[in-house]
Amino acid sequence: MLEGGTIETVEELEALYGQPGQTSLVKETDRIIPAYAAIIEASPFVTLATAGPDGLDCSPRGDKPGFVRIHDERTLMMPDRHGNNRADSLKNIVRDGRVGLLFLVPGAGTTLRVNGRARLSISAPLCASFAVDGKAPRSVMIITVESVYFQCARAIRRSRLWEPDAQAAAGTLPTPGAILGELSQGVIDGRTYDAEWPGRAAKTMW
C-alpha cells in the first residue's frame, strides 16, 4: 500500500520540486540548431512516443547514424523500416500526429529530445531516397519540429548504460521465443522461433 498523499495539482508539484534553473530553460529551441543537428546526425537510435485514441505508444527506431534526415531547421524525416506490422505508432500518427523523440548516441551521455507533429508520406521519390540495399521504406515520417532540447547525462550515468561491465550477461534474460511460447501456451514453438529469428531478420532488416 502506498503511504502518504499524492500530488494533485501543478502548484503542489512546483512547491515540491521548485522552479527550473536558467540552463534548463535556455537550452530549449523551436528549431534544429547546428549543435542539435550534430547529435541527430550521429544518432543510430531514437525512441518514438505517440498518442492516439487507442492509447499511448513508445517504440524504438534504429538504423545507421543519421537515419533521421534533417530536411531543414524545422523539419525531420524518418523512414519506417521493416517491423512487425502492428503499426501502433503509425496508427497514432494518422489519428493524432503528436510525437516525442529521444535521440541516443552510443558512448555519449547527452541525449536529445524533440517534440512536434508528424504525418506520413508515401511519396515514391521520397521513399526511394531512403532506400538501403535497394529496399525503400513503405512510408516516411515527416516531423514538424516544435521544441528541441538536450537532456543532461544523469540518467545515462546512473544507469551505466554504456559501461561494458553493466551489460546483461548472455542467457540471463528470457528469449523472445520463450516469452511467445509461454503466452501462447505452447502453440508457438519458442525454441524454433529463436533458432529461425536470425535468418528471418537478415532477410527483412531493411
Reading across the β-sheet that carries 69-72, which strands appear in turn? Answer: 55-62, 45-52, 98-104, 111-121, 140-151, 75-79, 69-72
DSSP state string for 27-44: T-BSS--HHHHHHHHH-S
SS3 sequence, 58-85?
EEEEECCCCCCEEEECCEEEEECCCCCC
Give the cell for residue 41.
Answer: 546526425
Q: Which three cell numbers stand for residue 128?
A: 526511394
Contacts 24+ apart (CB under 8 A), 55-61: 57/88, 57/89, 57/92, 59/88, 59/89
Query: How far, in Å, CA of 19 to CA of 86, rounded?
Result: 40
pLDDT tens for the chain, residues 1 to 206: 456 789 999 999 999 999 988 888 999 999 999 999 999 999 999 999 999 998 999 999 999 999 999 999 999 999 999 888 899 999 999 999 999 999 999 999 999 999 999 999 999 999 999 999 999 999 999 999 999 999 999 999 999 999 999 999 988 999 999 999 999 999 999 999 999 999 998 888 88
Domain ranges of the chain: 22-159, 168-204
CATH of 22-159, one of 1.20.950.20, 3.40.50.1820, 3.40.50.300, 2.30.110.10: 2.30.110.10
